[in-house]
């Protein structure tokens, strides 16, 4: 029997759709249902590689984890990764289709409806409930024609819709009423409930407003979700302002350059857990201080972001710190930037053919047409500690890159990849300079390996004459965080009404009393 479905749409971006979907996935799972998330189209730079080597948005990975299932690309069949303000790489079912301008994609995307429908149906045949997420707002009148992710998906899947508004931003009643009022008559009937998210204060003060809203829109309020900070789950795909400002006092200081096209920023979460480590993101206009280590993260546009580092003066600052012996590390695009030059012979990222790099690694990178996406197993090539135990230098992570790097005599490889997507290989990766203070790798998730993270932190500590530590993960238990989210949302919604909407779907009177 095909799955039942429910769709979460929002009054705009950043109102909390992703987190509500994750919460509903956990609630339904806890209640004994097989549940899966689905988002027809996601725009994100923070992506993930599945076990089979497909790329998808990380928010659907979080939702799948909340549902207790393995992520698969059908949960996010279309992924848009911006490469510039008006251009993006389009990824379909985990693999790149090509780079499109905004107008090119607007004209093309209707051809992807079959991919979306087939992906949803594959999930619907396997699961009891599919929780669908919209994008942005369904009320963007200029984008209504050709929209494939909001009401078009709701119609395709015949799903009832719950509309989410963020009260923390202010104006939530006008925002909710205005959104519903701007919908067509047919789409307005699909909205079966409202959730007010991120509320601070006493709910009793809201009661007159809720009554007005229900009368004005004809939709019941399913719940009012209080603002939270105690649950450690990323709400959105982008790096939030609070996240950027995060820092704590520590014996060693690590600064991460906030690139305009920063991607996979979750690479550095383990560093934030470690006692005695201070992590700071350095944004535009902010100089590097005098950190013990600098990390250049991944990016969707290496050449643009390298140009940014040059123009904003960061390259000179990074070279100065490296000369002083400070630790410098680059991940993926950040690794490419650390070399002598970055070449773009096919003009995939820019009109430039070659850009001079930061020149801290004896390496030259080229941006290729083929995209490499794999979960990987690798062996640490340098000997950072005496007599390391057997197997301790085996590391796991994932690759997402369109490029390759050749080393000169002044650098050594950092890792040997021995497995890609479950198949044995022998591929050399990364680089370290002969002085031993500049590193780079294409492997994302490298700090999720306690052995490597301990080595990296202790390398910094040894430079400062500090005793070594052993990093043991324990800061975040995702299962516990999803359970906390489940409880938080469950106690602040009308669960009986939620199930009534799911059970009756688009039938008339689905929100009325029995």
- Kindly list the distances between the CA atom of residue 57 and the CA atoms of 48, 71, 79, 103, in Å, as whole numbers in the listed order: 6, 10, 6, 22
Exactly one of 25, 219, 332, 511 is catalytic; name it: 332
Cα gap 160→122, rounded to integer Å: 19
Q: Are 315 and 288 in contact (CB under 8 A)?
A: no
Exactly one of 401, 444, 486, 511 is catalytic; name it: 444
- Kindly list the distances between the CA atom of residue 244 and the CA atoms of 262, 265, 272, 306, in Å, as whole numbers in the listed order: 12, 10, 12, 20
- Tokens read off for 375: 């979960």
Computed on alpha carbons and rounded to an integer, the radius of gyration of the chain in Å comes to 24
Helix (H, G, I), strand (E, B) or coil at 336: helix
Cα gap 164→495, rounded to integer Å: 16
DSSP notation for 424-490? EEEEEE-EEETTS-EEEESEETGGGSHHHHHHHHHHHHHHTTPPP------S--HHHHHHHHHHHHH
Look up 444 and say whether it is catalytic: yes
- Tokens read off for 39: 């988002």
Q: Which residues of 230-265 are buried (b: 16+ CB within 10 A; e: fewer)?
A: ebebbbbbbbeeebbeeeeeeebbbbbbbbbbbbbb
Residue reference for tokens 């050709």? 146
Look up 332 and say whether it is catalytic: yes
State the pairing for strand pair 438-441/415-420.
Answer: unpaired
Helix (H, G, I), strand (E, B) or coil at 328: strand
Which helix (H) or strand (E) segment holds residue 303: the answer is helix 302-311
Any idea what DSSP says for residue 228? -
Cα gap 354→212, rounded to integer Å: 61
- First-last CA distance in the chain: 25
- Annotated catalytic sites, by residue? 332, 444
């Amino acid at each position: 029997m095909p799955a039942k479905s429910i769709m979460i749409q929002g009054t705009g971006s950043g109102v909390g759709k992703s987190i509500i979907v994750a919460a509903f996935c956990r609630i339904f799972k806890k209640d004994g249902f097989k549940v899966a998330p689905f988002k027809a189209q996601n725009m994100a730079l923070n992506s993930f590689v599945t076990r089979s080597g497909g790329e998808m948005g990380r928010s659907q990975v979080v939702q799948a984890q909340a549902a207790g299932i393995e992520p698969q690309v059908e949960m996010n069949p279309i992924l848009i990764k911006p490469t510039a303000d008006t251009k993006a790489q389009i990824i379909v079912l985990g693999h790149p289709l090509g780079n499109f301008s905004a107008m090119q994609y607007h004209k093309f995307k209707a051809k992807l409806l079959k991919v979306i429908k087939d992906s949803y149906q594959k999930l619907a045949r396997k699961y009891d409930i599919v929780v669908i997420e919209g994008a942005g707002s369904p009320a963007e009148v200029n984008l209504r024609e050709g929209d494939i992710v909001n009401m078009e998906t709701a119609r395709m899947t015949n799903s009832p819709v719950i509309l989410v508004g963020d009260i923390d931003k202010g104006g939530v009643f006008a925002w909710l009423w205005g959104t519903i009022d701007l919908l067509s008559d047919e789409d307005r009937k699909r909205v079966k409930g409202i959730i007010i998210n991120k509320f601070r204060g006493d709910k009793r003060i809201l009661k007159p407003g809720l009554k007005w809203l229900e009368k004005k829109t004809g939709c019941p309020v399913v719940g009012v979700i209080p603002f939270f900070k105690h649950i450690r789950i990323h709400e959105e795909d982008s790096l939030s302002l609070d996240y950027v400002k995060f820092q704590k006092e520590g014996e060693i200081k690590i600064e991460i350059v906030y690139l305009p096209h920063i991607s996979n920023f979750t690479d550095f979460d383990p560093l934030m857990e470690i006692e005695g480590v201070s992590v700071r993101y350095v944004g535009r206009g902010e100089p590097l201080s005098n950190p013990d280590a600098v990390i250049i993260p991944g990016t969707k546009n290496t050449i643009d972001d390298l140009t940014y580092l040059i123009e904003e003066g960061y390259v000179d600052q990074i070279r100065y710190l490296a000369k002083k012996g400070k630790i410098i590390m680059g991940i993926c695009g950040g690794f490419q930037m650390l070399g002598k030059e970055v070449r773009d012979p096919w003009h995939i990222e820019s009109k430039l053919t070659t850009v001079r790099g930061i020149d801290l690694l004896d390496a030259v990178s080229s941006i290729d047409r083929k995209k490499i996406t794999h979960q990987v197993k690798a062996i640490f090539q340098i000997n950072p500690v005496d007599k390391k135990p057997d197997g301790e230098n085996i590391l796991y992570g994932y690759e997402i890159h369109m490029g390759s790097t050749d080393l000169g005599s002044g650098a050594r490889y950092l890792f040997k990849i021995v497995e890609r997507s479950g198949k044995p290989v022998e591929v050399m990766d990364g680089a370290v300079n002969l002085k031993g203070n500049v590193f780079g790798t294409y492997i994302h998730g490298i700090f999720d390996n306690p052995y490597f993270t301990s080595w990296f932190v202790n390398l910094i500590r040894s430079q400062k004459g500090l005793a070594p530590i052993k990093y043991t993960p324990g800061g975040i238990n995702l299962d516990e965080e999803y359970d906390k989210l489940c409880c938080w949302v469950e106690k602040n919604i009308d669960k009986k009404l939620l199930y009534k909407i799911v059970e009756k779907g688009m039938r008339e009177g689905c929100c009325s009393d029995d």
